[in-house]
Structure 1
Amino acid sequence: MLKSVHLAAVVALSLAMPGLARAEQPALDTVVATVNGKPITLGHMIAMRDALPPQYLQLDDETLFNGILDQIIQQEAIASTVDGKLTRQDELMLENQRRGYLASIVIDRAARAAVTEEAVQKLFDERYGSQEPGKEYHAAHILVKTEDEAKAIKAELDKGADFATLAQEKSIGPSGPNGGDLGWFGAGMMVKPFEDAVMALEPGQVSDPVQTQFGWHVIKLEEVRDAKPVTLDDVRPELEKELEQQAVEKALDELTAGATIEKSADGIDPAVIRNAEFPKD
């Protein structure tokens, strides 16, 4: 497939030009060029525009218009010379690409149709409607490699040593330079032994040594607060994605089940998928 070399060159070399006065918008089947007698329409250009990376859409209108038109003209001038010269592999690749593109249209339509405001709200109510906000914890820790080191640190703290100072001096965790401060976190955000230890503490209390896969921790609970309730806007993207995935899976299952399918690959050695090749031209 051709890379958009010409359009990229237009991007690099173009200067901002004043926009043309807007006339009545032409129809999508308006012919904007012909190449060897084959018409290129405005619709072809709009379809290419919708497939461009976002950065191209930042171009001014005239540069974008001319760049797309020149790109399609170039492609058609080259592609038209292939007529009658396709290999069998070329033909099969085109069939695969057409099949894949048409399938993607159906799947995309199913995904988009599934994401309605009513569906998003319903899923939100099911997922979060009866959920209690829960608690959030502000804690700090000192992480060391061995239990003996952790016990020694706990003994120093029991004698009145400053937690943040010891964390800066002895913690091997990334929060050490910040006095061991981990900020605020909720349930499920820390590994379970660490979380269990935090939830068992009262604000201002320091834990006995706690082991996790990262090493040995001495933990200080600073504060506890009620977590903010989850709002629809907080989780809208993940809910929409879930609805899309559900719709895609349903469409795949239903459309495949509704098709008349007869497999006739029995007796074919699966190794053929790796070893077979098209004849060399």
Structure 2
Amino acid sequence: MTPAALPLLVLLAAAPAAPAAPAAPATPPPAAAPHQVVDRVAALVNGEVVTLSELADRAGPALLKAEQLSPGPERDQAQAAALKRALDDVIAERLLQAKAAELQLEATEQQIDEAVADIKKRNDFDDAALERALKEQGLDRAAFRANVKREYDAFLVLQYEVRSKVKVSDDDLRNYYQSHPQEFGGEDEVKVRHIFLPLPDGATKAQQEKVQEQMTRILQRLKTGEDFSAVAREVSKGPSAAEGGDLGWLRRGTIEKALEDAAFALKPGELSPPVRAGPGLHVFKVEERRASGTRSFEDAKEEIRAHLVDQQAGTYRQQLIAELRRDALVETKLPELQK
């Protein structure tokens, strides 16, 4: 079984650093090669040297982007920030590797073979395509396998240290579903009742004022509490009058834009002002709102579970890294990385 198939792979996905191996992108980025760096010792992690060139390689495109800025404070800050993020990634990696060795959780050659095979499958690579991808990243097979082993070792440590802490209950799933309806809904719809008063073609100003006054009196009746459907049956001249003005569920794009805007601006129970559109005046009442195509809880719960496990695992991963750093001797040697 490869890490991609293991249930707690989300622990790796929650890591802030992008993997060095071409495991994630289908089209690997070009080799990160900032201008030639005069190598120096950037930091010591439990006495183990981290070089500036290693950080430059790890920072990759972020450092290249910073170097394209005009010389000055903004460029210096961007370069330092890119190198600092790379240093944090390298420190976490070194500490997880040391923990893997301590716990005797290092990946076997068979596990690495399976992980490489899975990377090829997910990226639709054959051997030749993988070789080209590695060449573009400036890696050979040995370096690539070392990267895969490092990621697998980190995964094993995280699985060992964190798996008992990640707990997602059915109540957690239900609470998330109910508090994030926008993530599971579809297109917005409104259930509408409607009163329509026509205006004759070429209506004079006096005729328009007469119909407007009639609609104003109707609105006053509705606002004093008269039943909309009863009033609609009495006064509406629209085709839905016999059904109490019931237009059913409407979605955007199905009625004239002015009418759509008036209806969708309302909350349940609200009345629109008179709207002039087409051959007359309209008043709407929205009875309900919903998102059509809403996914049921049963359909969505495994997706929610994966999200919450990922979220918890990311938090526990950061806590584990912080604990390892507290117990480690980390010395930063470059002044720009100490800020």
Q: Report TM bin, short chain.
A: 0.3 to 0.5
Question: Structure 1 length normalisation: TM-score?
Answer: 0.34
Greater RCO between the two (CA within 8 Å, min separation 6)?
2
Question: Structure 2 length normalisation: TM-score?
Answer: 0.28
